[in-house]
Amino acid sequence: MRGPVAAAAVVVAVLALIAPLLPAYPLTLLTQVVIVAVLAMSLDLLLGYTGLPSLGHAAYFGAAAYAVGILATERAAGFVTCLIAGLVLATATAAIFGVLAIRAVGTYFLMITLALGMVVWGLAFRWVSMTKGDNGISGVPRPDLPWPGSLWSPLPFFYFVLVAALMAWLVLGVIVRSPFGLTLKGIRESESRMRALGYNVWLHKYLAFVISGFFAGFAGILWAYYNGFVSPVDVQLVTSVETLLMVALGGPGTLAGPALGAAAIVFLKNFVSVYTKRWLLILGAVYIGVILFAPRGVVGAFTRGHRS
Amino acid sequence: MSAEFWITQTFNGLSYGALLFLLASGLSLIFGVMRIVNLAHGSYFMLGGYVGLSVVWRTGSFLLALVAGAVAIALVGMAMERLFLRRLPGQTLGQVLMTVGFALIFQDVALLVWGGDPYTIPVPAMLQGAVATGALRFPTYRIFLIVVAFVIGAVLWLALDRTRAGAMIRAAVDDAEMAAGVGIRVPRLSLGVFALGAALAALGGVIGGGFLGVYPGADFEVLPYAFVVVIVGGLGSLPGAMVGSVLVGLLDNFGKALFPELSYFTLFAPMALILALRPTGLFGRV
Amino acid sequence: MRPAWLDRAAIAERDMTGADGAALRLEGVSRAFGGLRAVDGVSLTVQAGERRALIGPNGAGKTTLFNLIAGAVPVSAGRITLFGRDVTRMAAHRRAALGLARTFQVSNLFPALTVLENCLLAAQGLHPAKLAMHRPLSGYRELHARAHATLAAVGLEGRARVSARHLSHGEQRQLEIALALATRPRLLLLDEPTAGLSPAESAQMAALLGRLDPAMTVLIIEHDMDIALELARAVTVLHYGRVIADGTREAVKADPLVREIYLGA
């Protein structure tokens, strides 16, 4: 347990140290990686730890991003208001969807979370008076916080995001190592045995679902400030599926792995799209390749190799 | 709201439901037999439309476009099943990610071949125009669509109910392991069902191309509708796909007409309600 | 003198049993799967502290009966009373909270978790700490102590850090018992603990079962008659979902119907 924590601390320290040396574009990409890593870790709590493959995770991410986008532009709301509203909206959405989705098992769960995710997408797309529809909400201002340097400049904003992500990662790390975290793994391994041992399986799955939605919302808030723009793309099915791919690629049930998976996909998408227009083709091939050749994820393959 | 409004919207809803049936019946059967959540199913619809478009451009024959679209996409579906999905038995997540990978590739290939502009498939003269009664006008093409869906639905129903292959499919939907135990060659059956499902979706794509158009992004636009139909009707159930399609078609149409801003919500909220009451859908079994 | 309601022993005593001292009472319990009545009108009383064997040929409905008692499968008809409380409609996890534990005929473990984690999950199942998210599990000494003690009791102490999936079949059967014991049950349902074990392993298992706390009520399904009858003085025989004999082992052994259909004599 000490090993991964130390390794992650080193990675964060290295990121913090090299950031000032980076030109603007790589730094912006790195900021994006850190935010998306939080989203991937939030999904890992469901997929990797609890064994629930949600296909609608972008809904909570996007709900929070929209809350921030709308409040910060039309109401000129401050950071604290946006933060609270974003987290509340994401968590409430997860709390409502969870009631419907957690009853379902296996493939039904996949399909129901997909359909529920589409509800949010549909609202983002069609509820034009609120969300501006396909045009999205642009010009989301970054907050004015007592922070060393303006959040409008890339470097201070990167540190801001890094600190926020570190907090999310620490909290998630504590949760997965707690008795509750072990309970989630137990549910992933055998629900029937968990029931026989006195666990209210529904309740624990539901809590995991809501907590996961909360952290996805946290990432969504950072995203709205990072991008300055919120649109239906942020809540669409492909975003949800991409997050699943990050978790699968990095190794479910490890937190650090999905963060690495997020880095790999974000860099791949951006670099490939620089060199060729056919990046969808390549991304599609990556999906298929990951499933055929590294079904347990890169990190998973490594750790298994160590133990046996 | 006048009576004309209700009649016209009901008719439009039914015709959209007919299109959804072509799309969703295959998805439902594929799921029933193989338990695969196929996110590339919307791609079959889109690719079918594009293939149909090219055939009409070359030959001018709408009928040939229907056949070519269905056959070409059936082959694509068979290749996907035989070469890739079969390697992942029981791995739900792996199947989902793999079918998404294919959906992305198909999207890009379509962009490469047909470009980014939207097209409408030219419809034969005999299907143009409308049937008018009083102040009401019913486009002939939509009537044609309803008839096609009805005929296909009836044929599927009879085939499932009366033929040997249908009995095998029903057995595999009930319990694939047991079906294999009594000597049904499930892999071959899976291939056939996959081909059938892909062909039906492609048929929907060609016919839909005549009034909705063929354009990039159509794949992921229709996919959620197909999923809602299958969820509402019950996975693996043909009657479920029928009832679900009509229900979703009507809900979507009235939603769009009455509450344009909340139209998706008016579609998904009833789905949520049905799920809360019957988690396996109207006709689904546990 | 302390009032009776403060007397923990008295409360525990009252809690242990129903008004008539029964730990478990089944009245006309049935379960149909489609047209098949897997369990058909079974009535049965197990007194607190009793050890009873449930025997019968394959397909007699023994495991289904366990599933009904534990709440894994709902009854089609009848009534189940656990320690004096009607639990017929109660969810499985709440029955476990009343002090019911079970083992599974086919080992039902947490394969990717270590043996220790398996036991910790069992130990925290009825512990309020199971919902704690704010501090690491390693800080809960009491849970660890209980998990280690349970592992020691079944002889798996040395395997604590091994993944459950890497255990031998015999060790998995021991862990299966450990998971049930770590919840400190008052009523234990054992579903063929020796299934698939070699004679030597079976003997080891029998010794382990012989060391169980005598205050614990035990209902055991066992094909190995020697083990079943060594552990249990009372025997219930199930055949096609019905109870065909019920009594002391001597009486059941002598029962002509039982001899005919089960002992094959």
pLDDT recorded at residue A12: 84
Q: Tokens for B92, please give them.
A: 């739900």
Phi, psi at B61, each rounded to 5°: -100, 120
Three-class SS state of B256: helix
Q: Tokens for B242, please give them.
A: 């029928």
Say how far apart CA A159 and CA A98 lie, in whole Å: 33
Query: What is the nearest CA distance from A57 to chain C, expressed in angstroms?
Result: 22
**A295 contacts on B by Cβ (under 8 Å):** 91, 94
**Higher-pLDDT residue of A293, A40:** A40
Give the pLDDT confidence of C121-175 residue by residue, as tens digits.
999 999 888 888 888 898 899 999 999 999 999 999 999 999 999 999 999 999 9
pLDDT recorded at residue C20: 60
| CB distance B131 to B138 below 8 Å | yes
Give the pLDDT confidence of B6-48 residue by residue, as tens digits.
898 999 999 999 999 999 998 988 888 888 889 999 999 999 9
State whether A183 and C137 contact (CB < 8 Å).
no
**pLDDT confidence tier of residue A297, bands split at 50, 70 and 90:** low
pLDDT recorded at residue A144: 85
State whether A278 and B112 contact (CB < 8 Å).
yes
C6, pLDDT greater than 50? no
User: Which three-class secondary structure string do you get for chain A?
Assistant: CHHHHHHHHHHHHHHHHHHHHCCHHHHHHHHHHHHHHHHHHHHHHHHHHHCCCCCCCHHHHHHHHHHHHHHHHHCCCCHHHHHHHHHHHHHHHHHHHHHHHCCCCCHHHHHHHHHHHHHHHHHHHHCHHHHCHHHCEECCCCCCCCCCCCCCCHHHHHHHHHHHHHHHHHHHHHHHHCHHHHHHHHHHHCHHHHHHCCCCHHHHHHHHHHHHHHHHHHHHHHHHHHHCEECHHHHCHHHHHHHHHHHHHHCCCCCHHHHHHHHHHHHHHHHHHHHCCCHHHHHHHHHHHHHHHCCCCHHHHHHHHHHC
Instruction: Please report the number of interchain residue pairs, chain A to chain C, with beta-carbon separation below 8 angstroms.
Output: 102
Query: Nearest-CA residue of chain A relative to C98?
Result: A198
A304, pLDDT greater than 50? no
- Average pLDDT estimate for B192-213: 93
What is the average pLDDT score of chain C?
87
Please tell me which of the candidates B35, B92, B231 has its beta carbon nearest to residue A112. B231
Please tell me which of the candidates A175, A177, A198 has its beta carbon nearest to residue C96. A198
pLDDT recorded at residue A295: 64
State whether A190 and C109 contact (CB < 8 Å).
yes
State whether A198 and C125 contact (CB < 8 Å).
yes
Give the pLDDT confidence of C60-95 residue by residue, as tens digits.
889 999 999 999 999 999 999 999 999 999 999 999
Q: Could you give the angle at which helices A179-189 and A154-177 cross, rounded to 10 degrees?
A: 70
String of DSSP letters for B187-209: HHHHHHHHHHHHHHHHHHHHHHH
User: B with A: 3 or more CB pairs under 8 Å?
Assistant: yes
Q: Which of A154-163, B88-97, B221-230 has the lowest mean pLDDT?
A: B88-97
pLDDT recorded at residue C16: 47
**C130 contacts on A by Cβ (under 8 Å):** 179-180, 183, 199
Give the pLDDT confidence of A107-133 residue by residue, as tens digits.
888 888 988 898 898 889 888 888 898
pLDDT recorded at residue C1: 39
Give the pLDDT confidence of B55-65 residue by residue, as tens digits.
999 999 999 99
pLDDT recorded at residue C245: 85
**B71 CA to centre of own chain:** 15
Q: Which of A139-143, A191-195, B167-171 has the lowest mean pLDDT?
A: B167-171
| CB distance A283 to B105 below 8 Å | no
Query: What is the nearest CA distance from A200 to chain B, expressed in angstroms?
Result: 19
Phi, psi at A103, each rounded to 5°: -65, -30
Q: Which residues, in sequence order, are CB contacts of C80 under 8 Å at separation 6+?
A: C24, C25, C26, C27, C29, C68, C69, C86, C87, C88
pLDDT recorded at residue C2: 39
| CB distance A175 to C133 below 8 Å | yes
pLDDT recorded at residue C7: 40
pLDDT recorded at residue B136: 83
Q: Tokens for B227, please give them.
A: 């999923």
**pLDDT confidence tier of residue C190, bands split at 50, 70 and 90:** very high
Say how far apart CA B31 and CA B204 lie, in whole Å: 18
Three-class SS state of C56: coil
The answer to whether A237 contacts chain B (CB < 8 Å) is yes
pLDDT recorded at residue C258: 80
State whether A189 and C109 contact (CB < 8 Å).
yes
Q: Which residues, in sequence order, are CB contacts of C83 under 8 Å at separation 6+?
A: C15, C16, C17, C18, C23, C24, C98, C99, C186, C187
CB contacts under 8 A, A 179-208 vs C, are 179-183, 185-186, 188-190, 192-201
Query: Nearest-CA residue of chain A relative to C127?
Result: A198
Q: Which residues, in sequence order, are CB contacts of C2 under 8 Å at separation 6+?
A: none
pLDDT recorded at residue A193: 96
| CB distance C243 to C44 below 8 Å | yes
State whether C131 and A179 contact (CB < 8 Å).
yes
The predicted model scores a pTM of 0.89
Interface test with A, best of B273, B275, B285 (most A CBs within 10 A): B275
Please tell me which of the candidates A1, A193, A200 has its beta carbon nearest to residue C108. A193
State whether A108 and B109 contact (CB < 8 Å).
no
pLDDT recorded at residue B67: 95
Interface test with A, best of C94, C131, C191 (most A CBs within 10 A): C131
Strand boundaries in chain B, DSSP class E: 130-133, 136-139
Interface test with C, best of A1, A103, A183, A203 (most C CBs within 10 A): A183
**A89 CA to centre of own chain:** 16
Most confident of A5-14, B246-255, C115-124: C115-124
Single-letter amino acid code for the residue at C189? L
**C93 contacts on A by Cβ (under 8 Å):** 194-195, 197-201
Say how far apart CA C19 and CA B5 lie, in whole Å: 70
Alpha helices in chain C (DSSP H): 8-16, 62-70, 92-97, 115-124, 141-154, 169-182, 199-210, 225-231, 249-254, 256-258
Q: Kind of pairing, strands C217-221 and C51-55?
A: parallel
**A172 CA to centre of own chain:** 12
State whether B235 and A47 contact (CB < 8 Å).
no
Q: Tokens for C245, please give them.
A: 């004999």
| Chain A neighbours, 3+ Cβ pairs < 8 A | B, C
String of DSSP letters for B103-119: HHHHHHHHHHHH-S--B
pLDDT recorded at residue C9: 42
**B231 contacts on A by Cβ (under 8 Å):** 108, 111-112, 115
- Average pLDDT estimate for B190-211: 93
User: C with B: 3 or more CB pairs under 8 Å?
Assistant: no
Query: What is the nearest CA distance from B223 to chain A, expressed in angstroms?
Result: 10
pLDDT recorded at residue B265: 78
State whether C72 and A195 contact (CB < 8 Å).
yes
State whether B96 and A128 contact (CB < 8 Å).
no
Place of tokens 């059941």: C252
Query: How many C-alpha atoms does A4 have within 13 Å on its Cβ side?
Result: 16
The answer to whether A103 contacts chain B (CB < 8 Å) is yes
Say how far apart CA C207 and CA C191 lie, in whole Å: 17
**B223 contacts on A by Cβ (under 8 Å):** 237
Give the pLDDT confidence of B102-128 residue by residue, as tens digits.
999 999 999 999 998 999 999 888 888
pLDDT recorded at residue B169: 83
**C111 CA to centre of own chain:** 21
Query: What is the nearest CA distance from B54 to chain A, expressed in angstroms?
Result: 22
pLDDT recorded at residue A152: 85
What is the average pLDDT score of chain B?
88
Q: Any idea what the Cα angle at residue A167 is, between residues A162 and A171, rounded to 5°? A: 145
Say how far apart CA B203 and CA B198 lie, in whole Å: 9
Please tell me which of the candidates A179, A190, A194 has its beta carbon nearest to residue C132. A179
CB contacts under 8 A, A 156-175 vs C, are 174-175
B270, pLDDT greater than 80? no
Q: Any idea what the Cα angle at residue B237 is, between residues A113 and B31, rounded to 5°? A: 55
A247, pLDDT greater than 60? yes
**C36 CA to centre of own chain:** 25
State whether C112 and A185 contact (CB < 8 Å).
yes
**pLDDT confidence tier of residue B235, bands split at 50, 70 and 90:** confident
- Average pLDDT estimate for A62-71: 96
Please tell me which of the candidates A180, A182, A198 has its beta carbon nearest to residue C93. A198
State whether A174 and C183 contact (CB < 8 Å).
no
String of DSSP letters for C139-156: G-HHHHHHHHHHHHHHT-
Please tell me which of the candidates B101, B261, B265 has its beta carbon nearest to residue A287. B101
CA dihedral B46, B49, B50, B55 (to 10 degrees): 160
Say how far apart CA B206 and CA B127 lie, in whole Å: 14
pLDDT recorded at residue C257: 83
Query: What is the nearest CA distance from B3 to chain A, expressed in angstroms?
Result: 27
Say how far apart CA A203 and CA B277 lie, in whole Å: 19
| CB distance B231 to B248 below 8 Å | no
